[in-house]
């Protein structure tokens, strides 16, 4: 039997290895409901250390759970098979900003907010903008994180040019490059992005940057129903005004957000809101916002508030960013991250609202209206643990079935992890699953990396 103490041979300092009493945060995700066990936590500081550790775990057939900041909402960092947790958050150096190729090279543990600030101070912009800014770049890449600015700029995948990775057996390799174009065989880089740490450990990331937009301005558009607001979204997108973000929120969740942060949101009497942003050159931004206003009016907008006041704008986005935590503060909830084709968003939300009325179970919806990514919270309220588990599952099954009927998918940006596995496996075509299993076997024949996120039924 291997002794975890042997791992000290590959590390420089004693603080890089924890054995015995493992801190609870390493055994779970941000919601802390699912828990695993681990024999050791390792905090590598270099690719050589990651490689040596994985060679050792491969030889001894020990499961490995890579981890960034642990902000995922789906149990993907829960070490359900034991073994070691590989904490990459200490590999957090920004290695290069290459202005000529407009790329930055970073280690995976760099925190998103720090990276965004770093490049913006130098006149560049990194568009991926998921709500949780304390997440790491490695975690963002592994989940193909989306966020608010996906409508205009796309998701994390669109900004990853190359990766250094370590395979389960310790081999180090580079996939992708600084080249803008690449038709050179299968894209291994694209397999790694969004693979939730099941194929390899990311140790270096080459990221695409763009010039920082001159101006960015947001608006709040109140409506008397969520459906009315959502229906205006397609019309806005068809106007060729290129909004950066189009978010939708129901009034009831805004109230929770206000209370949670002790901030106020404009137009308290409205039932639902769209929050939109436009960025680019100043004249273009004002022209586009004017055009959006006309469309919104046609679709029954109650008003149109341009957030020129910096503080008000920040408060609106702070409230939007805190909604998961605001709901969680009043009741246990199950976050859902379903994505449907953008023209089916209104139909999907109407279905969920009808289900709420029919069953009395509370659902709260908000999310990325511009790309069909609906964040639903199925709220526990006063249900006993037993009732909650039964009802949650029953309603989730209905919701996922409806989403797939509409051409949707299990996850738009959070990933599958442990919590969405049942629905993902049920709704995904068997041939697709078999190909995923074959890819997993090629990268990780002993099934050691994040073994809990398997593609097996």
Ligand X SMILES: Cc1cc2nc3c(=O)[nH]c(=O)nc-3n(C[C@H](O)[C@H](O)[C@H](O)COP(=O)(O)OP(=O)(O)OC[C@H]3O[C@@H](n4cnc5c(N)ncnc54)[C@H](O)[C@@H]3O)c2cc1C
Residue among 315 and 450 whose Cβ is closer to ligand X: 450
Contacting residues for 174 by C-beta, under 8 A, at least 6 apart:
162, 163, 164, 165
Measuring CA to CA, which residue among 245, 370, 392, 261 is closest to residue 323?
Answer: 261
Residue among 87 and 289 whose Cβ is closer to ligand X: 87
Measuring CA to CA, which residue among 213, 71, 218, 243 is closest to residue 149?
Answer: 243
Residue among 17 and 166 whose Cβ is closer to ligand X: 166
Cβ of residue 318: shortest distance to ligand X, in angstroms? Answer: 11
Cβ of residue 71: shortest distance to ligand X, in angstroms? Answer: 3
Contacting residues for 317 by C-beta, under 8 A, at least 6 apart:
218, 275
**Can you list the alpha helix ranges (DSSP code H) found in 39-95?**
47-59
With CB atoms as reference, the residue minimizing the distance to ligand X is: 139
Q: Which residues pair with 376 in a beta bridge?
A: 336, 365
Bridge-based pairing state of the strands 124-125 and 210-211: antiparallel
Residue among 92 and 293 whose Cβ is closer to ligand X: 92
Cβ of residue 373: shortest distance to ligand X, in angstroms? Answer: 8
Residue among 329 and 438 whose Cβ is closer to ligand X: 329
Cβ of residue 296: shortest distance to ligand X, in angstroms? Answer: 23
- C-alpha angle 51/57/61, rounded to 5°? 145
Residue among 333 and 450 whose Cβ is closer to ligand X: 450
Cβ of residue 188: shortest distance to ligand X, in angstroms? Answer: 14
Cβ of residue 443: shortest distance to ligand X, in angstroms? Answer: 12
Cβ of residue 90: shortest distance to ligand X, in angstroms? Answer: 11
Residue among 291 and 439 whose Cβ is closer to ligand X: 439
* Contacts with ligand X, residue ranges (CB under 6 A): 30, 65-73, 76-77, 88, 108, 130-132, 135-136, 138-140, 142-143, 145-147, 196-197, 201-202, 324-325, 413-414, 450
Six token digits for residue 205: 């990331």
Cβ of residue 61: shortest distance to ligand X, in angstroms? Answer: 19
Residue among 164 and 279 whose Cβ is closer to ligand X: 164
Q: How far apart are CA 392 and CA 386, in angstroms?
A: 10
Measuring CA to CA, which residue among 102, 131, 194 is closest to residue 157?
Answer: 194
User: Using CB atoms within 10 A of its CB, is residue 440 exposed (0-12), middle (13-18) or buried (19+)?
Assistant: buried
Q: Report the Cα–Cα distance between both ends of the chain, in Å, rounded.
A: 31
Q: How far apart are CA 38 and CA 54, in angstroms?
A: 16
- C-alpha angle 60/65/68, rounded to 5°? 140
Measuring CA to CA, which residue among 293, 272, 294 is closest to residue 228?
Answer: 272
């Amino acid at each position: 039997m291997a002794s975890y103490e042997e791992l000290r041979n590959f590390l420089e300092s004693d603080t890089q290895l924890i054995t015995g009493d493992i801190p609870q945060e390493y055994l779970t995700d941000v919601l802390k409901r699912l828990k695993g066990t681990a024999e050791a936590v390792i905090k590598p500081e270099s690719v050589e250390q990651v490689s040596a550790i994985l060679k050792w775990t491969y030889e001894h057939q020990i499961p490995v759970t890579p981890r960034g900041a642990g902000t995922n909402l789906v149990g993907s960092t829960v070490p359900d098979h034991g073994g070691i947790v590989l904490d990459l958050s200490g590999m957090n150096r920004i290695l290069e900003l290459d202005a000529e190729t407009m790329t930055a090279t970073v280690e995976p543990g760099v925190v998103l907010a720090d990276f965004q600030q770093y490049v913006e101070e130098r006149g560049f912009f990194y568009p991926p903008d998921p709500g949780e800014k304390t997440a790491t770049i490695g975690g963002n890449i592994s989940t193909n994180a989306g966020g608010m600015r996906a409508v205009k700029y796309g998701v994390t995948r669109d900004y990853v040019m190359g990766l250094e990775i370590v395979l389960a057996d310790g081999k180090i390799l580079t996939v992708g490059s600084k080249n803008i174009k690449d038709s050179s065989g299968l894209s291994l880089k694209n397999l790694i992005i969004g693979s939730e740490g099941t194929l390899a450990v990311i140790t270096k990331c080459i990221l695409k940057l763009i010039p920082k937009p001159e101006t960015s301005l947001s608006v709040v558009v109140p409506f008397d129903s969520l459906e009315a607001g959502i229906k205006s979204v397609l019309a806005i997108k068809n106007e060729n005004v290129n909004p950066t973000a189009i978010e939708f929120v129901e009034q009831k969740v805004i109230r929770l957000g206000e209370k949670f942060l002790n901030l106020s949101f404009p137009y308290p009497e409205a039932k639902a809101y769209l929050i939109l942003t436009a960025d680019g050159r100043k004249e273009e931004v004002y022209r586009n916002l004017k055009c959006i206003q006309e469309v919104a009016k046609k679709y029954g907008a109650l008003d149109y508030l341009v957030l020129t006041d910096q503080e008000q704008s920040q408060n609106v986005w702070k409230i939007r960013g805190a909604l998961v935590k605001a709901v969680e503060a009043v009741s246990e909830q199950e976050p859902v991250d379903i994505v449907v084709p953008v023209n089916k968003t209104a139909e999907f939300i109407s279905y969920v609202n009808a289900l709420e009325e029919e069953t009395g179970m509370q659902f709260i919806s908000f999310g990325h209206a511009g790309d069909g990514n609906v964040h639903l919270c199925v709220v526990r309220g006063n249900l006993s643990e037993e009732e909650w588990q039964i009802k949650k599952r029953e309603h989730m099954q209905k919701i996922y079935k409806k989403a797939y009927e509409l051409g949707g998918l299990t996850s738009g940006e959070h990933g599958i992890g442990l919590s969405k596995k049942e629905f993902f496996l049920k709704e995904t075509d068997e041939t697709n699953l078999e190909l995923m299993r074959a890819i997993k076997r090629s990268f990780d024949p002993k099934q050691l990396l994040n073994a809990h996120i398997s593609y097996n039924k």
